[in-house]
């Protein structure tokens, strides 16, 4: 038995289709303002900053 050919979709609204393609790979992430954090200067050269537990859990 041969397989039936898939239905060919006809795009009628090209501007909307193009915008949907642009947004397809977009991801919006919302953070709580209390989650913002900046490392305190340690005064030592080249040292990695100590990250908060919330920053590590976010990653």
Task: Report, as ranges of residue numbers, the positions in the chain whose pLDDT lies below 50.
Answer: none
pLDDT at 9: 79
Q: What is the pLDDT of residue 59?
A: 66
pLDDT at 1: 63
Tell me the whole-structure pTM to 2 decimals: 0.34
Those residues whose C-beta lies under 8 Å from the C-beta of residue 52, and which sit 6 or more positions away, are 37
Q: Quick one: pLDDT at residue 23?
A: 85
* pLDDT value, residue 17: 92
Q: Which residues of 9-32 are buried (b: 16+ CB within 10 A; e: fewer)?
A: eeeeeeeeeeeeeeeeeeeeeeee
């Amino acid at each position: 038995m041969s397989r039936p050919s898939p239905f060919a979709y006809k795009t009628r609204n090209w501007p909307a289709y193009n915008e949907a393609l642009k947004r397809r790979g977009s991801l919006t992430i919302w953070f709580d303002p209390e989650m913002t954090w900046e490392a305190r200067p340690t005064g030592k050269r080249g040292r990695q900053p100590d990250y908060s537990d919330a920053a590590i859990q976010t990653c």
